[in-house]
Chain A
Amino acid sequence: MAGSTTKSAYWRGLRNGIPFIIVLAPFALLFGVVATEAGLTLAQTMGFNVLVIAGSAQFAAVALMQDNAPLFAVLTTALAVNLRMAMYSAALVPHFGAAPLWQRAIAAYMNVDQTYAMAIIEYDRRPQMGTAEKLAYFFGVSTPLIPTWYGLALVGVLIGESIPPAFALDFALPIAFISMIAPSLKTLAHLAAALTSVVVALLLTGLPWGTGLLIAAVCAMTAGVTVETLNERRA
């Protein structure tokens, strides 16, 4: 019966993943448009979507590349945005740790915000699931989302070239960033981190690209953790 429960876990994951197409599609589309606007070719844009497959880091990299930042600044900033995924990786170890290495290697490629969040909620709800079922669920969630990420970016590249400058597409990038950040400011600690990041980054704009932002990020993370710790103590 292991086969049939694994199959049903896969289909359950797939069904749960489908609504997230609506969330991912506009992002993918926008990345295609913004990357084209910035001067990347179709192949380069798709290279980002297939090899990096991380929305906010891709937008960050393109924003810095538009400013002709040094390569090391582009890499450190974009990778800093992705550091949170180390936390996802650690959180999935208790669930996938017993699976063969090649399966864990594939799961790692699909370990993105949405798949991670859905999977962790599901495993919490159904603790009796075995490793094979958990992986099947994870791959099920990924099945509709990964092709959406590739395909809609391609559409964005194709339509992006035909959009006239009067549409102020230069500002699509800042709006996308703000729209990603604002909903995640759930606590005082997140708010403190975001505010610190803005203030320090603006104060340090004189520094060569990347350095000011990295200092701001370290200050902001410290601010977030400090406020969180103070809140816990008070509670």
Chain B
Amino acid sequence: MTYSAVEIWAIIAMLGLGTYLIRFSFLGLIGNRPMPPIVLKLLRYTPVAVLPGMVAPLVLWPAATGGEPDLARGVAALAAFAVGLATRSTIWAMAGGAVALYTMLFALG
């Protein structure tokens, strides 16, 4: 990370302000004008639309191995995904991913 302390604090402050304004938006306006249904529908998909695209390159080309695909990390990612799908639980998914990662790292030496 090569940001200056001022830049980092600027990111934190602007993210904080922006996030607060998003949360306050409708509560602050009271107007109680309903949003168009299409907008509500689109908003519902934002996390699932942003996060997978962000995580895919991190899994395929991990920074820790200099961008080379890594078997242990790939298996751990798959394990976390499979456990998350099967159990519908974030905590179990994280546990599954961690167990797979350490098992693989240990097995591959």
- Contact partner of B12 (CB less than 8 A), chosen from A52, A60, A185, A205, is A52
- Contact partner of B13 (CB less than 8 A), chosen from A51, A87, A93, is A51
Q: With an 8 A cutoff between CB atoms, is A146 at the interface? A: no
Interface residues in B59-108 (C-beta closer than 8 Å to A): 59-60, 62-64, 72-73, 76-77, 80-85, 87-91, 93-94, 97-98, 101-102, 105
Judging by beta carbons under 8 Å apart, are B45 and A220 in contact?
yes
Question: Beyond A22-B91, A79-B18, A220-B49, is A93–B64 a contact (Cβ under 8 Å)?
Answer: no
Cβ distance A7 to chain B, nearest Cβ, rounded Å:
23
Cα A198 to Cα B57 in complex, Å, equals 9
Q: How large is the interface on A (under 10, 10 to 19, 20 to 34, 35 or more residues)?
A: 35 or more
Cβ distance B38 to chain A, nearest Cβ, rounded Å:
7
Judging by beta carbons under 8 Å apart, are B41 and A228 in contact?
yes
Judging by beta carbons under 8 Å apart, are A183 and B85 in contact?
yes
Cα A88 to Cα B46 in complex, Å, equals 13
Q: With an 8 A cutoff between CB atoms, is A197 at the interface? A: yes
Q: List 22 A-B contacts (CB under 8 A).
A: A23-B91, A51-B15, A52-B16, A52-B19, A53-B19, A56-B47, A57-B15, A66-B63, A85-B23, A87-B40, A111-B27, A168-B64, A168-B102, A170-B62, A171-B73, A178-B97, A182-B82, A190-B48, A194-B52, A197-B53, A220-B49, A221-B42
New A-B pairs, 16, CB < 8 Å, besides A167-B102, A174-B77, A220-B49: A51-B12, A52-B16, A53-B16, A86-B43, A90-B25, A104-B24, A105-B28, A108-B23, A171-B64, A175-B97, A181-B84, A182-B82, A193-B48, A201-B52, A212-B53, A221-B49
